[in-house]
Amino acid sequence: MRGFRGSFWSAVAAVLLLLSTAHSPKPALAEDGSLAVEVLRSPDPYEVRIVIEGPGGTWTFEGRSSVTLSGVTSGTYTVRVYYRGYLVATRVAVVNGEDVALSIPIPFVDLVLRAVDLKGRDLSGRLYAKAEPREAYGDLTVSGSSIVIRGALEPLAYSIYVEWESPLYAKKASANLTEPAWSLMRRGTVQLPVTDLTISVIDREGKGVGGAEVRIANQLLTTGEDGRLVVQRVPVGYRGEPVSYDVEIRYMGYIVHRGPILTSTANYVFTFTADLRRLTVLVRGEAGQGIPNARVSLLREGNEVGTAFTDAGGRASFEGVIPVEHFLRVEYKSLSQTLRVLPSQMTGRPVTVQLPVYVELGGVPLSSLQLYLLLGGVVVTVIAVAASALLLVRRKARKVKVVGPIY
């Protein structure tokens, strides 16, 4: 009986074992394959490093441009290629019991950048450029306005420094940019802080002063009729800082401004106000009457700097007079008079010049004294003529014999 029970429970255990085995998954069988990697366009295999990561682990190969892994476990593998220590390519391969081969070229590219100003104009001549990291490209050359970097690595970011010196103003402009090589290829230009300066010279009423001389960095320029001038292609930023220029502005020898100006990409328009005056002259006669058509000359240091003629009211004006000592010379027919004018008199009120003209007879100007003398002479002449006539009558009367009363 005991033997029967033991056999029974043994049979039950065997049946349960069979049932459990029938419902469990079968173990997967690994199918071995191979993975081959070849790096193309490598100028020096010793500069190449290949790193493969996958289910079986990580493999690193130094100084080789081609490798093969045999008997690898099926799965997904990541292949990374380094050139001179920089990651230049990443590929993913799926191995499933077969042989897989990857050809990975090193992405060399040539970069061409044009140096331009803020208006997009080429900057050639004294151009300098450098790029970092230096070991990550072949060579760099500058020709005209073009900067060429050969053998750059497309995915790698480069820091490029560009500098340009103006041949006219002896000042420099510079720019920095850091971008991947593929982005630099799309950009095509590097913009430097170089632009045109606009300088305006106005008077106190806001009117442009034409003919003002502007000296900037040993360049002498002259404002137009509107008081403006444009200084082209001026560096306004260098190594992140504004650029300073010494400027001197003169008008008719008078210094309007002398000192530095600070330029930047946001500050390149300048306006200077000249302390110019308006000089009004009133030419009057002795009776206070305005004398028209008198010629008024403005003299400075013996030189005539302006001429005007009086209107019907005897007024003449000069615009843009610099506040220094002047002389006024007034000429009217045979009369002439010179008057000294100081800056303190240039207040807007007219400077009065009185000519010895009281009246004009037959187009000849006469002063009151001349008129008095003339009238006095006429009276004396009349009296003299009358006296002479009376004397003559008396003399004739003596020669005539008179008889009887005369009625």
CATH code of the domain in which 353 resides? 2.60.40.10
Residue 183 and residue 208 in one domain: no
Number of structural domains in the chain = 4
199 burial level (CB within 10 Å; 0-12, 13-18, 19+): buried
Per-residue pLDDT of the chain (407 residues; tens, 9 = 90+): 444 444 444 444 443 333 333 333 333 334 578 999 999 999 899 999 999 999 989 999 999 999 999 988 999 999 999 999 999 999 999 999 899 999 999 999 999 999 999 999 999 889 999 999 999 999 999 999 999 999 999 999 999 999 999 999 999 999 999 999 999 999 999 999 999 999 999 998 899 999 999 999 889 999 999 999 999 999 999 999 999 999 999 998 889 999 999 999 999 999 999 988 888 999 998 888 889 999 999 998 888 989 999 999 999 998 888 888 899 999 988 888 898 998 888 887 899 998 888 677 766 777 667 666 766 655 556 666 666 766 676 666 665 555 555 44
Contact 330, 296 (CB under 8 A): yes
Distance of CA 293 to the CA centre of its chain: 48
Does 281 share its domain with 357? yes
- Name the amino acid, one letter, at 206: G
In a domain, 9, yes or no: no
**Rounded Cα gap, residues 184 and 61, in angstroms:** 31
* Domain assignment of residue 169, yes or no: yes
Q: Is 37 helix (H, G, I), strand (E, B) or coil?
A: strand
* pLDDT score for 124: 86
Q: How far is CA 287 from the centre of its chain?
A: 59
Q: Please tell me whether residues 37 and 113 are part of one structural domain.
A: no
Closest of 341, 344, 319, 321 to residue 329, by C-alpha:
341
pLDDT value for 298: 92
In a domain, 118, yes or no: yes
pLDDT of residue 156: 96
* Per-residue pLDDT at 367: 67
Reply yes or no: is the peptide bond before residue 133 cis, omega within 30 of 0: yes
Q: What is the CATH number of the domain that holds 47?
A: 2.60.40.1120
Domain end, chosen from 256, 273, 290, is at 273
Q: Alpha-carbon Rg of the chain, whole angstroms? A: 53
Alpha-carbon distance of 100 to 116, in angstroms, equals 49
Residue 333 is given by DSSP the state: T
What is the Cα–Cα distance from 150 to 169, expressed in whole angstroms?
32
Domain hosting 211: range is 194-273
Q: Which two tokens stand for residue 54?
A: 């996958």
Can you give the pLDDT at residue 244? 97
109 closest CA partner among 177, 184, 187: 184
- Residue 395: its pLDDT value, please? 66
pLDDT one-digit tens code per residue, 321-336: 888 889 999 998 888 8
Answer yes or no: are the C-beta atoms of 250 and 212 closer than 8 Å. yes
| Residue 384 host element (H or E) | helix 368-399
pTM listed for this prediction: 0.70
pLDDT at 301: 84
Distance CA 263, CA 241 (A): 9
> At residue 125, what are phi and psi to the nearest 5 degrees?
105, -115
3-class secondary structure per residue, 96-128: CCCEEEEEEECCEEEEEEEEECCCCCECCCCEE
User: Which of 67, 83, 105 delimits the end of a domain?
Assistant: 105
The span from the first CA to the last CA of the chain, in angstroms, equals: 219
pLDDT at 195: 97
Q: Report whether 275 contacts 344 (CB < 8 A).
A: no
CA 64, 67, 70 angle in degrees (round to 5)?
Answer: 155
| Domain end residue (candidates: 65, 86, 105) | 105
Tokens of 380: 């004396």
Whether residue 230 lies inside any domain: the answer is yes
Query: What per-residue confidence (pLDDT) applies to 398?
Result: 60
Q: What is the pLDDT of residue 386?
A: 63
Do 222 and 290 belong to one domain?
no
Same domain, 285 and 227: no
Q: Which amino acid belongs to residue 243?
A: V
pLDDT of residue 17: 37
